[in-house]
Structure 1
Amino acid sequence: MKKSKIYQKILIFSLIFFIILYTVCNMFLGKLFLYNMVVGFIISVGNFLGLVFHVKKSFSGSFMGIGIGNSFFRLMLVGVFLYMWFKFGMLNIWGLLVGLSVLTIAMPIYVLIEYRRKIDGTST
């Protein structure tokens, strides 16, 4: 039985989307915006990989209570990192928000493309 590695495909698709967005923003916006966009994307990818690990562990039959604690720890870690970034980092909130939402926007787009491939047989 072949294991699904859809999370890797989503990460690759979001990385391609991020590189295109970074290139376009590099032409029109400042370095502070780009720096915060990169940091936001790294936070988003780290959170996504933590979620993937948590879901895999939950479906493998491990104890769920420990998994819930790890999930709260992961979210708390992201919250502490964002707080420290707001307090001590050079902040451009728009760049950070764009970086955080790249993966969130890329997921439904990837799902729609895969759905279209299965329905139409189209290779996109």
Structure 2
Amino acid sequence: MMSWFSGSPTVMTGPQVAARWKVSRSFPRFAIDVALSISGTRRTTPLGGRAADIGLGGICGMLPEPLSVGERLNLEFTLPRERSAIRVLAKVRYSLGERHGFQFLNLDPAQRERIRRACEKLTIV
């Protein structure tokens, strides 16, 4: 794994990677591949992409356009084996090329429980 957080790339392996994620993540992440749509005040049309991983605190999405860190957006996605979408306000935490990290800002208890149940069936990353 390459670390880009220190200003210059360094290779991190095994225990170093695990230690890094323990420090920087509040919730574990789980691999997911579902459609992800974002909209916001600066967007006239929704932007579509794919989610790459999810946790109780946020989601990582692959989207074809750059986003501004700190920007607040509306996310919409449907969890595997579910029919109704989750719609949630989120903040862009990082933007690296097409990969973007979003922090959930207003998950209600029912949405949080749906994500928790879905994560139980997904592979941790």
Which of the five TM-score ranges fits, normalised by the shorter chain? under 0.3
Q: Which has the larger helix fraction?
A: 1
* Structure number with larger C-alpha Rg: 1
Q: Looking at both structures, which has the greater relative contact order when contacts are Cα pairs under 8 Å and sequence separation is at least 6? A: 1
Q: Give the structure with the higher percent strand.
A: 2
Please report the TM-score for the alignment, with normalisation by the length of structure 1: 0.22
